[in-house]
Amino acid sequence: MLRHFLLLAAVLVTASIADAKPRTWTSADGAYKLDGELIGSNETTAILKRRGSGRLAAIELADLSEEDRNFVKKQGKSGSKQEAGDDLEMHTWTSREGLKIRAKILAYGKKEYTLDRKLGAVTINGKAFSTFDPLHQKLILRVLSVLEKTPLEKQSDLNKFVSLFAGQPKSYPLEGVLMELPSGDQIAVPFFMFSEKDLEVLQAGWENWQKYHTDEDARAREDLMMRSEASHYQQSMAQEQQRQQLEVLKFNMAAVRTGLTSIWEVQIAPNRGVYGRPTSIMVTARDSLTATQMVLPNYPGFSM
């Protein structure tokens, strides 16, 4: 295992390494591996964000393999620029009710939801509801629940609701943004679905976009501005979260230096019949018993 697990050195100044892709890191002796992404480094230390848990760990470069040390050095020199890809445009948005939506913003738009029943199946704009991606289904149910002021939580609720239409389709005009889900499905999400913070960004240029109803170039420009502002907003939010994490790590490291606490690595594995993989969790605690008591309740079915 890596000999020195430092949560954060007091004098560490990190170089911003945004949107690094996760990779597998290996200790110098090859005995220990860690999956994560590089989010910062200096001449002696690399800060990694663990894949899955998202926990940060600061690891001395001397404890890493030569390949990993070269990777960190290369990232520092290149300014950590990465090729732009669709994944980089995917961000997490939040609805007023707290639903997290991982999606890419495409454009402003006006669209109608037409709810109908064909051959016994509920359809949205002519497509069977059952064929939509699960997240897409959940979004549709949330939107219709707000519009109709009726709780629609699952497909059976929607089936009962549509049965009241007496064979007549019903349309709902919507104003909002067109989003693309990781599955490739595209969905129109009305403005009223977003949290107040997200809405401030997404709705900023909506009035201008509406004014240019005959100017496709102007509308395209407003779409681009909205996407750029949304991307900047999401990156700023992510950087603030990382900054807060680093401040917490500084506090923990100060406690370690003064002897108030220690850093423990608790290694756990799933019990027989429990699905999962062995993993390790870093915590600050006074002793190993306390560290274990902090970790195990969060991993039912695992043992140290």
Residue where a domain terminates, one of 177, 198, 219: 198
In the numeric block, which tokens belong to residue 140? 């549709």
Q: Are 77 and 25 in the same domain?
A: yes
Q: Are 140 and 55 in the same domain?
A: no
Is the predicted pLDDT of residue 84 greater than 50, yes or no? no
Q: Are 120 and 192 in the same domain?
A: yes
Q: Are 52 and 108 in the same domain?
A: no
pTM over 0.75: no
Question: Can you say how many angstroms the Cα of residue 281 is from the centroid of all Cα atoms in its chain?
Answer: 21
- Dihedral of alpha carbons 27, 34, 45, 84, sign: positive
Return the top range by mean pLDDT from 97-101, 127-131, 240-244. 127-131
- Quick one: pLDDT at residue 253? 72
Q: Are 118 and 166 in the same domain?
A: yes
CATH number of domain containing 12: 2.30.30.700
Is the predicted pLDDT of residue 91 greater than 80, yes or no? yes
Q: Are 189 and 107 in the same domain?
A: yes
Residue where a domain terminates, one of 42, 67, 82: 82
| Other Cβ atoms within 10 Å of 237 Cβ, number | 14
Is the predicted pLDDT of residue 287 greater than 80, yes or no? yes
Q: What range does the domain containing 296 cover?
A: 262-303
Give the residue, 44 or 25, on which the prediction is more confident: 25
* Domains held by the chain: number: 3
Residue 221 lies in a domain: no
139 pLDDT tier (thresholds 50, 70, 90): confident
136-153: b or e for each residue (b if 16 or more CB lie within 10 Å)? Answer: bbbbbbbbbbbbeeeebe
Q: Which backbone phi and psi does 203 adopt, to 5 degrees?
A: -95, -5
Is the predicted pLDDT of residue 13 greater than 60, yes or no? no
**Tens digit of each residue's pLDDT (9 = 90 or more) over 46-79:** 777 778 776 666 677 888 999 999 998 888 765 4
- Quick one: pLDDT at residue 151? 92
Q: Are 102 and 152 in the same domain?
A: yes
Residue 153 lies in a domain: yes
12 pLDDT tier (thresholds 50, 70, 90): very low
Picking from 105, 92, 97, the residue whose alpha carbon sits closest to that of residue 195 is: 97
Mean pLDDT of all residues in 20-26: 83
